[in-house]
Copies of this chain bind each other. A is one copy, B any other.
Amino acid sequence: MSVGRETRLSAWIERFAAHFAEEGIPLIGGRILGYLLVCQPTERTAAELSQELEASSGSISTNLKFLVNAGLVTKRTRRGRQAAQYRINEKRWVDLIQRKLDALVSVRELTEAGMRLMSGDPERAMRLRAVDDLYTWLATELPAVWERRPASSR
């Protein structure tokens, strides 16, 4: 007996969420992202997400707020008593990656500050310089690469 597509999709969502959980995004937040990337139709209310992902309304609310704030999810309100609809904002995924790269490159500011404290003692600075050189290289290369990213992602 074969496994249905939706079942395999839930498993995929779980793996997806697990990956981002390792990067500090709450499990439920990751599930929301994964779900909104593949659900049909593309928009869901908070109540639907709560039921579909088996999470409390509070958790859904908190995580949606976080994701909307990060720009990854868009909230669409409707007049009347109708619940707001949420959908993925995949255009903003670049921001997520950019933050990652920025965090990496920003170490250079630390190593530079350390190097300044070491000025006048090149012998002692040797170890830090090796690390500083690495981040300096990263800080010059990565932004250049980033600028060449395909137009479709802007």
Contact = CB atoms under 8 A, between A and B. Distances in A.
B12 A127 contact: no
Contacts of A40: 124
A122 interface: no
Contact of A114 (B16, B36, B142): B16
A130 B153 CA distance: 8
Copies in the complex: 2
B38 A127 contact: yes
A110 B16 contact: yes
A128 interface: yes
A133 B152 contact: yes
A138 interface: yes
Interface of A: 5, 8-9, 12, 15-16, 19, 22-23, 36-38, 40, 42, 88, 90-91, 93-94, 97, 100-101, 103-104, 106-107, 110, 113-114, 117-118, 124, 127-128, 130-131, 133-134, 137-138, 141-142, 145, 148-150, 152-153
Most buried by B among A9, A12, A100, A149: A12
Most buried by B among A5, A37, A106, A141: A37
A38 B127 CA distance: 7
Contact of A131 (B90, B101, B148): B90
A38 B131 contact: no
A142 B141 CA distance: 10
A93 B19 contact: no
Contacts of A128: 37-38, 90
